[in-house]
Amino acid sequence: MPVITFANTKGGAGKTTAVLLLATELARLGFRVSVLDADPQHWITRWYENSEDALGRRLNVVPYVTMSTIDRQLAEEKNRADFVLIDLPGSRSSLLAKAVGHADYVLIPVQGSAMDAQGGANVIELLQYLEDKADIRIRHSVVLTRVNSMVTTRAMNAVKDLLAARRVHLLETPIIERSAFRDIFGCGGTLYSMDAKRVSNLDKAQENARALAIEVLRQIPAAVAPAASRLKDVA
């Protein structure tokens, strides 16, 4: 089953939020999803501990993934799930290289800042190195995170220009800055178990997550993602 690795060597780029949105939306669409939590902050593990009742049995989070355990944990989860997502620390490490090497698809979350762009560029350089030195080609995309739906900043335009210049694929669906995407880590559950009376623009947050999931599914070649054929039923 396909492995999707989320990577940016800078912390705070929105990796865990992107993992959470994609994982819960894929589970809502009926896929079995496993998340390997290799982030030392363990945000997605903490969220999962407060959310199991809202998720049924389609989503599982494996905590405390390390360099020494990732091979075994990944093999186990690939036998159980339609998709395995890996949430990494925001740093350059051997674990980053290994997780990227295992991936069928790498998603690089980037905010509209020069530091985030450089963190993303580090991952892209690693992917290029694998292609040049080992003839390993891994499909990858950048997803813009915490985007203001009303204002496009100069920094965001600079990031888009840099990606275009390097011919890096950019997802058409950005992750918009929504209160629901912040609140979900505190209250647990999913975007569909939250109280619309307490969370502003919850419907728009749900639409954003669904569009992200569908676009990501379409980026994964059918040869490694037979489950993505279900798109015809959900698109």
pLDDT the model gives residue 113: 74
Question: Is 184 within 8 Å of 153 (Cβ atoms)?
Answer: no
pLDDT the model gives residue 203: 96
pLDDT the model gives residue 88: 95
pLDDT the model gives residue 168: 81
Beta strands in 27-114 (DSSP E): 33-37, 59-62, 83-87, 105-110
Dist CA 61 CA 103 (whole Å) = 17
Number of domains comprising the chain? 1
Dist CA 211 CA 218 (whole Å) = 11
Question: Is 44 within 8 Å of 87 (Cβ atoms)?
Answer: yes
**Encoded tokens for 208:** 């954003």
Best CA proximity match to 140, nearest among 2, 1, 6: 6
Q: Which residue range is the domain that position 203 belongs to?
A: 3-234
pTM of the model: 0.90
Q: What is the CATH number of the domain that holds 77?
A: 3.40.50.300
pLDDT the model gives residue 11: 85
Tens-digit pLDDT string for the chain (235 aa)? 899 999 999 888 899 999 999 999 999 998 999 999 999 999 999 999 988 665 677 899 999 999 999 999 999 999 999 999 999 998 889 999 999 999 999 999 998 777 877 888 899 999 999 999 999 999 999 999 988 876 566 767 777 777 777 788 889 999 999 999 999 998 888 999 999 999 999 999 999 999 999 999 999 866 455 555 555 555 4
